[in-house]
Structure 1
Amino acid sequence: MLKIGDKKLINAWAFYDWANSVYSLVISTAVFPIYYAGLTASEGFANADGKIEFLGMLWNSTSLYNYALAFSFLVVALMSPMLSGIADYAGNKKKFLKGFCLLGSISVMCLFFFTGKETLWVGIVFTILASIGFWGSIVFYNAYLPEVAHPEQQDKVSAKGFMLGYSGSILLLLICLILIETEVFGLYDKQFGSQISFVLVGLWWLGFAQITYKKLPNTEKITLPKDNYFLKGIKEFKKVAKELFEYSELKTFLIAFFLLSIGVQTIILMAGIFGTILGLETANLIGTILLVQFVGILGAFLFSRLSNKIGNIKTLKITIAIWGLVCFIGFNLTKDTPNIDIYFYVLGGLIGLVMGAIQSLARSTYSKLLPQTEDTASYFSFFDVTEKIALVVGMVTFGLLTSFFTIQSSVLALGVFFLGAFITLSTIKKTKYVQ
């Protein structure tokens, strides 16, 4: 078994970002949201008021998508504490990682069958299941960070994962764009090209994840009494919960992480739909999303180096300030804004600069604040539950504001959460590894 800090172990762990980030880009951000928005806006899909029918009720199409994702995040938030407790007790984090990865990748491929009004249920149901698979696997993936890298390595290692993720997702997105927009592969049907892209995402995710599985440590306890799994899992979770609230800096950081996650994740998930509503053409939207990924590689690298010089907290506060600027610019953009495509590219550049940076630093900062423990899955379940609850709050808030006001109002409201995160981070005291 490879030892902590081993380059091969670090590379294998980081490679899961290469595998799963295609979901984040192609499904959550680029192709599927645009595909969904275009399909639900097509002739005959919505009624005269622009509403679509689902479960016997009429919905704003954007709000329905928001609520579906919010439901998936809530499911993960409810499941992961108990499952992580079981994983720590049984030592089988890898099994849970594999299980959620399998659920997510197969569900993504099933989106192939979402083709119109009659199959809207397919799009919604498998959007929910794919999201549960992705975010559920992240709980256990993140929990491995303290087991693969020493505290002084974790900023760089966390950033390496995001950089690999951006690189892999850019590569697959380019392939998907060729499928959708050209005849290189013998077809030029945007809808069918998008459907094939969903299948490719699932195969990519599941296939490359095998590289990670081969190297990650397997500490499953062979003599575990199987009838006590759930009881022991709940006890493990309660023990960690009690310990966590005794560490004031860790508790304060989770509050700040909750607030910044509302803004960051909601913007990432809604960027494509926001651009569609602003009237941008698909080519400009995809171009902006690609720009975000390219700049994201640079941003993750630069901010991980900056954190080594000025500390994690100061660096995180800089990224939060830039996110606040993103909200202000987004609020001022409308369909009638001259050169709207150029402004959207600028917005994309700013988002790319800080998107990977803030997520990478948040993950490594939390890992550095953890006490010496073997219960990494349980501790990281609090980190991930915090993010999922933030996503629920963000998506519901965004959906409600979009339903009653404008999407620009929703974007501006996210800036309030960034301000709260900035203030909360300012109260955290320095520790040995977090400055």
Structure 2
Amino acid sequence: MKDGVVMDPVVLEEAQQLLSPASWTRGVADPRTVVAAERTGSSWENRYLSKEHRRAGATFQGKVYNFLERPSGWKCFVYHFTVFMVVLVCLIFSVLSTIDEYSGFANETLFWMEICLVVFFGVEYMIRLWSAGCRSKYMGTFGRFRFVRKPICIIDLIVVVASIVVLSIGSNGQVFATSAIRGIRFLQILRMLHVDRQGGTWRLLGSVVFIHRQELITTLYIGFLGLIFSSYFVYLAEKDAVSKDGKSRNDFSSYADALWWGVITVTTIGYGDAVPQTWIGKIVASCFSVFAISFFALPAGILGSGFALKVQQKQRQKHFNRQIPAAAMLIQCLWRCYAADKCFNSQATWDIYIKEPGHPKDNSSLSKVSLIMQVAKRASVLKRKRSKSKMDTSGGSTTNNNRDSLQAQTLPPP
């Protein structure tokens, strides 16, 4: 593990073999040149790294922005979970304030909780607006205005303004005293959206629906047709129905009542306010229930399997993203080894600039070193040629001796 990246064992083994002392004898560059190449690569990365990324990660403003907008780590989890629990408790007290038995205690407690939440969310909104300046697209007045136009920021502003209106109009601690103020309570429920500021839940749902849109449209279309026709047939069978005591029933007096019965039936709610009385109506209702309920239940299974596949795809993508840095490190290391090797004459890459050991201004020493390397190289070539010529001469003499011995053996004695 390096810098929080889990390396594949196969990739790690190849990198270790590439940098092992045994590989240096096979023509790979000296380890000192590899270290120098790594230093060169790190300096290149530091030089050309995005200024926005460095500013957002290093400055205090960037840290605050990442803490609020891009939470990661246990500290961010504790903060956002605490905010969620406070909002949930406030919602519970809002529900209790509508019950006569607990309205007195709940209204008084809710009044002070609303004051604390208004101050907290107002300050947090201003901090978010200030910290957004660490990003280039949110700098300046127009950048801040672009940040305010985000949907989640608009919701935060609406919640703060609605809470201020509720607190300013309420009297004697009765926050939801009038019916007009009770209507604004719905805007305060939008605080629950404060938890998922990045919108990952909605993006996941939208992606699943978009991927399986064809299957969903098909099942809903067939189910809708079954609902319309079956409700109409039940209406025709039950509109003139008469009960056992001779009185007419008005459960299916109109086609709208039949549609209401069909919707309640296919959703498996079954209030029981409308029930078919005739045998024809019961047969149609039975066939409709078996047919339509199966089609209306298919979207739940499609969405469930889609969510499972999407989560599996995200996990696979995370695994690939963990392997990308390791593969990039291996490729960079191999390129540096080839580029730093003087015996490598390929034109597929360029030569890496590495300072030779010694004084950089001492040109005479560098020329001497290069001259010695050339002499040693020529000496090795001459040595190989001489050894090859000796082997040829020795091989020729042995063949001549063998030929003379064979001729002596074949000649008859005098």
Report the TM-score range of the alignment, normalised by the length of the smaller protein: under 0.3
Q: TM-score, normalised by structure 2?
A: 0.22
Higher RCO structure, 1 or 2 (CA under 8 Å, sep 6+)? 1
- Return the index of the structure with the highest Cα Rg: 2
Query: Which structure's residues are more often helix, by fraction?
Result: 1
TM-score of the two chains, using structure 1 as the length reference: 0.21
